[in-house]
Amino acid sequence: MTADLAGCKAALAHLDLDDNPATVRQKSRDFFWYSPVLKERLDHVTADFVVTPRNEAEVIEALAAAHAHGVPVTPRGAGTGNYGQAMPLSGGMVLHLKGLDKIAEIGPGRIRAGGGAIIAEIDRKARAAAGQELRMHPSTAQTASIGGFIAGGSGGVGSIRWGGLRDDGNVLGLRLVTCEARPRVLELRGDDMHKAIHAYGVNGIITEVEVPLTAAYDWVDVIVGFDEWAACNRYAEDIAHRDGLHLKELATVQAPAPHDYFLRHRRFIAREKHVAIIMVGPHSLEPLLTVTARDRRAAVLFRSDRDGAAGLPPAYELAWNHTTLRALRMDPAITYLQVLYRAPDTVERVVKMAAIFGDEVPGHVEWVRMDGRVRGAGLPMVRYTTEARLDEIIRIHEAEGCPIFNPHRYTLEEGGMKQTDPAQLAFKRETDPDGLLNPGKMIAWDDPDYDFASDRIYLFPGLNAAQ
C-alpha cells in the first residue's frame, strides 16, 4: 500500500500536527552524527510530518490513522539516541511522545510514569515525594525520556550496582499501544517485556512504564588519578568488586583525554593522568578514600564535597557517551566503539588494546555488573580516518577476543548480537502486521535470510533516496 500522507494528515488535523519542513527535519534527527558512517548515510533522512499526542488516547488515534493510510511511524522520545534509532528512514510520521510525561504513581521501590517523561524529572519527583530515585539512567538523563531509554538504551549510571535494563527486575511493567486498524493497549510484565525492551519501538509505542526506585543520595563525585593506565584499571576493577562500597558510577579514561577534553575539570587533572571517575554515596566516601589510600599509585584529584561542584558538570556527564561528546567538541574527527572486555583478563585486554592502537583509540571503560559479575564495557574513542580503517579496528578487537557492539549501524541486529531476536520479531507480527513502526530498523522483518556474518553494512531498501 502506498502511503496516503494527505489522508493521514487530514484525519489527524485536530491533533498537534506540524508539517513545517524545518521543524520536521529537526525532529527527524537524533545523535546519529556521532558516527561518521551513519552521518554519511542518514543525513538526508526526514519525515513528512510530526504528531505530538497529549495522552494515550491521541497515540491510539495517531496509530489508527497511520494504519488506515499506510503511513510509517517513527516514535521519538527526546532524540538523544546515537545510532539513528529515532530517524524516520521511510519518511511518514514522527510520533513525538514528549506529552506523555505524567507521573501516575510513586510507591515504595517503584514508580509509574508516562513514556515521554524526562528521566531527571522522574528522579526529582521521586526524591521530593519519597526520598527515592531511579536505579539507573543514561548520562543524558537531563534531556532523555524514560520510554526512549527503555526502547533505545541499555544501561548507564547505576549499572555498576544494578546491571542493565535487560536484567530482570530493572523494568517492572510496560504499557504499549499496537499499530493496527484498532490499536490495542497491552500491559506487558515478566518475560513479555523483553519483546519491547531495546526494540527501537518497532513493535509498539510505550505509553507508560513501571520501573524500580532505590534510596536517593547526594552522590559525591570523586576523580582519582594514576600515572599508568593499567594501574588505573586495576584500581577500578578492585573497587568495583568491593560490595561494601556504595557506588553509582565507575569509569576509567585514558590520558591525556581527561585533561584535554574535560575542560571544566581540567584544572584538577594534569595531562599525564589517567583517571577513575566515581560517584559514591556520602556514607561510602570515607571507606572509598581508605581503600584508595592503600593504593600507593592512586592520587585523589577531585572531590565534589571538598573542592565544590559549582560551575562543574556532574561526574556522570564525563562518563558514558558524554566522554565521547566532550572529545568530539574538541576534535570533530573523534568517534567511538562499544567493546566487551571479557573477564577474567579484563584489565589485560584493556591494556593490550591500548598498546596496539596507541593514540588512535584512547581508552574509556565503563565498569558495570552483568549477571552479577563485574565487567569492563569499553567505549573507547576512535580518531576516525576512513570507514575501512574503522572496520579494521573492529576486526582487530574481535580477533583479540574483544567483541564489538557496533555503534555505526542503525539496525537492531547489527548494533547488537548480530542475530535475529525471534521473540521481538514474532511480537512485531502481532502488533504491527503492516510493518509501519520504525521501518528499516529490524533486518529480520525485511530480509529473513540476511547473512549476519557478512561484513557489509545492511542497506534498508526503503531508505529514502538522498534529496
CB of 118 to ligand FAD, least distance (A): 8
Residue 30 in contact with ligand FAD, rule: CB under 6 A: yes
CB of 38 to ligand FAD, least distance (A): 12
Residue 82 in contact with ligand FAD, rule: CB under 6 A: yes
Q: Choose, by CB under 6 A, the member of 36, 92, 148, 380 that binds ligand FAD.
A: 148
CB of 152 to ligand FAD, least distance (A): 3
**158 close to 149: Cβ distance less than 8 angstroms:** no
> Cβ–Cβ contacts within 10 Å for residue 332, how many?
11
Total residues at interface with ligand FAD (CB under 6 A) = 38
> Cβ–Cβ contacts within 10 Å for residue 313, how many?
17
C-alpha torsion sign, points 31, 34, 37, 39: positive
Residue 81 in contact with ligand FAD, rule: CB under 6 A: yes
> Which of the residues 164 through 203 are near ligand FAD (CB under 6 A)?
200-201
Binding flags for ligand FAD, 101-140, as an x/- string (CB under 6 A)? --------------x----------------------xxx
Nearer CB in complex with ligand FAD: 26/352? 26
Q: What is the 3-class SS of 161-180, one letter each residue?
A: HHCCCCCCCCCCEEEEECCC
- Find, among 102, 24, 108, 93, the residue nearest to 61 by Cα: 93
**138 close to 144: Cβ distance less than 8 angstroms:** yes
Cell of 36: 561518521
Question: Of the listed pieces 39-47, 76-84, 249-257, 282-290, which binds ligand FAD according to CB under 6 A?
Answer: 76-84
- Find, among 70, 92, 100, the residue nearest to 24 by Cα: 92
The residue behind cell 529514502 is: 464
Q: How many residues are given for the chain?
A: 467
Cell of 76: 521519538
Q: Element (H or E) spanning 270, and its range? A: none
Q: Choose, by CB under 6 A, the member of 91, 152, 163, 363 that binds ligand FAD.
A: 152
Angstrom distance (rounded) from CA 208 to CA 123: 16
Angstrom distance (rounded) from CA 395 to CA 96: 37
Which residues make Cβ contacts (< 8 Å) with residue 342, sequence separation at least 6? 349, 375, 401, 402, 403
Q: Choose, by CB under 6 A, the member of 76, 195, 234, 246 that binds ligand FAD.
A: 76
Nearer CB in complex with ligand FAD: 150/231? 150
Residue 438 in contact with ligand FAD, rule: CB under 6 A: yes
Packing angle, helices 229-241 and 346-357, rounded to 10:
160
Residue with smallest beta-carbon separation from ligand FAD:
148
CB of 258 to ligand FAD, least distance (A): 17
Q: Choose, by CB under 6 A, the member of 49, 302, 320, 341 that binds ligand FAD.
A: 320
Binding flags for ligand FAD, 201-220, as an x/- string (CB under 6 A)? x---xx--------------
Residue 315 in contact with ligand FAD, rule: CB under 6 A: no
Residue 80 in contact with ligand FAD, rule: CB under 6 A: yes
| Residue 190 burial (C-beta neighbours within 10 Å; 0-12, 13-18, 19+) | exposed
Angstrom distance (rounded) from CA 394 to CA 439: 27
Residue 323 in contact with ligand FAD, rule: CB under 6 A: no
CB of 20 to ligand FAD, least distance (A): 20
Question: Of the listed pieces 4-12, 69-77, 223-231, 278-286, which binds ligand FAD according to CB under 6 A?
Answer: 69-77
Residue 151 in contact with ligand FAD, rule: CB under 6 A: yes
Q: Choose, by CB under 6 A, the member of 36, 72, 92, 155 that binds ligand FAD.
A: 155
Angstrom distance (rounded) from CA 138 to CA 34: 16
Give the residues across from 129 on adjacent strands.
Answer: none
Residue 74 in contact with ligand FAD, rule: CB under 6 A: yes
Contact residues toward ligand FAD (CB under 6 A) are 30-31, 74-82, 85-86, 97, 115, 138-140, 144-145, 147-149, 151-156, 200-201, 205-206, 320-322, 325, 438
